[in-house]
Amino acid sequence: MTVTADRPQMLVTEFEELARHAARSTEGARLEFINGHLGGKAVPDGDHGRVIQWLTRICMRHRPDLWLDPTQGLAVDAYREGRARPDGSLAPAEAFVGQGEWADPAPVLMVVEVISYDSDTSAPDGGRYETVRTLPFGKEVALPEPVGITLDTEPLKSWVR
């Protein structure tokens, strides 16, 4: 089969079956299906995990009604026509109950990606990033409502290479 940019590599249902098998057979491979194309995410390392742990604790302290779920896959049909695995999805605690591996993203207030420096990593608008804001570690970052949390990024200095 010839793959083109305007045609998906496979059906969403075929991807879901492949992702189930990959998770069981390859030490937790994290597959995504974005804009009709198969992709993978690296298995998180210890620094990555520590950043998610840090953010989870902050969210729990300031918004105990919410949970930063680091494992839930999202059915992102409207945005990216596929299945995404964010590093974290901040949503009401019961938001994903009964939804299986690929949940509806509607109740998600914020998705988190732990990334290295990249020029397009803030303020998404539809399929592109509208604003880029680069701050040095140690500055405070105010997350707007409905999240409404201010993050002190000083601790991040300990977990970057």
- What tens digit of pLDDT does each residue of 108-120 get? 999 998 875 544 4
Percent helix, strand, coil in the chain, to 5, is 25, 25, 50
* pTM for the full predicted model: 0.73
pLDDT score recorded for residue 114: 84
Q: Per-domain residue ranges for the chain?
A: 12-159
Angle CA 105–13–33, to nearest 5: 55
- What tens digit of pLDDT does each residue of 92-110 get? 999 999 999 899 999 999 9
Cα(102)–Cα(117) distance, integer angstroms: 28
Pick the CATH number of 12-159 from 3.90.1570.10, 3.40.50.1820, 3.90.470.20, 3.40.140.10: 3.90.1570.10
Residue 20 or residue 117, greater confidence: 20
Instruction: Give the pairing of strands 73-76 and 102-103.
Output: parallel
- What tens digit of pLDDT does each residue of 72-95 get? 999 987 766 789 989 999 999 999
> Which tokens go with 114?
């732990």
